[in-house]
């Protein structure tokens, strides 16, 4: 039984085409040549970029509380203030957490976390950079008073709400 040479030739061509297709699929992401569907790394110098123009409106200013930046670690929280001062409280030294509300909003910060330690304290405006992480940590403290927190968030008057106090060790 002799094989038809034309069928052998067509089978060989089909195998080669399949091999080329597989190699191209496997190496598609490794090409160093620019392709028509992939944009060049840099726009051509003749095309304008999306740079701000003189007639573009300036970006809106940040709310004042965003200029307060928090650094939160496993051992302490530091609030860096816009006047280049900072306040720090160590978690091990934290004795009481309060929320102070004022009637200064909405143009000025009007809700503040007050963190009290035995060797100092820290006043942090709500909305400071890092405030969401701080809120999550403080509201997770054992015995945190969530009702006081809710009342503070609804307050528009001058008030102080105690949300957490370090429990006194038994036998003291």
Lookup: tokens for 158: 């001058």
The residue to which tokens 């009702």 are assigned: 147
At residue 75, the pLDDT reads: 94
For the chain, percent of residues with pLDDT exceeding 90 = 48
With a cut of 90, say whether residue 2 has pLDDT above it.
Answer: no
The residue to which tokens 């909405």 are assigned: 106
Buried b / exposed e along 64-85 (16+ C-beta atoms within 10 A) = ebebbebebeeebbbbbeeeee
pLDDT in tens, 127-153: 899 999 999 999 999 999 999 999 999
With a cut of 60, say whether residue 41 has pLDDT above it.
Answer: no
- List, in sequence order, every residue forming a beta bridge with 116; answer none if it has no partner: 96, 121
Total residues found in the chain within this entry: 172
Question: What rounded mean pLDDT belongs to the chain?
Answer: 82
State how far the Cα of 152 lies from the Cα of 126, in Å rounded to an integer: 11
- Residues 87/129, Cβ–Cβ less than 8 Å: no
Give the residue from 123, 118, 121 showing the smallest Cα distance to 65: 123
Confidence at 22, pLDDT banded by 50, 70, 90:
confident
pLDDT in tens, 96-120: 999 999 887 777 788 999 999 998 8
Higher-confidence residue: 25 or 69? Answer: 69
Strands (E) located in the chain: 69-72, 76-80, 86-90, 94-101, 111-117, 120-125, 159-165
Would you kindly state where each structural domain of the chain is located, as residue ranges? Answer: 67-165
Higher-confidence residue: 118 or 37? Answer: 118
Q: What is the rounded average pLDDT of the residues 67-93?
A: 93
How many CB atoms within 10 Å of residue 162?
14
Confidence at 58, pLDDT banded by 50, 70, 90:
confident
Phi and psi at 150, nearest 5°, equal -65, -40
């Amino acid at each position: 039984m002799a094989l038809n040479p034309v069928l052998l030739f067509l089978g060989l061509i089909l195998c080669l085409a399949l091999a080329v297709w597989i190699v191209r699929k496997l190496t598609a992401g490794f090409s160093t040549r620019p392709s028509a569907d992939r944009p060049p790394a840099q726009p051509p110098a003749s095309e304008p970029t999306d740079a701000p123009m003189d007639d573009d409106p300036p970006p809106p200013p940040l709310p004042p509380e965003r200029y307060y930046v928090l650094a939160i670690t496993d051992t302490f929280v530091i609030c860096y203030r816009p006047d280049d001062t900072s306040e720090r409280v160590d978690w091990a030294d934290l004795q009481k957490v309060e929320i102070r509300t004022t009637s200064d909003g909405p143009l000025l910060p009007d809700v503040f976390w007050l963190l009290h330690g035995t060797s100092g304290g820290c006043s942090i405006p709500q909305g400071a950079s890092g405030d969401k992480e701080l809120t999550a940590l403080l509201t997770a403290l054992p015995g945190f008073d969530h009702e006081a927190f809710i009342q503070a968030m609804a307050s528009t008057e001058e008030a102080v709400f105690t949300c957490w106090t370090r429990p006194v060790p038994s036998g003291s």
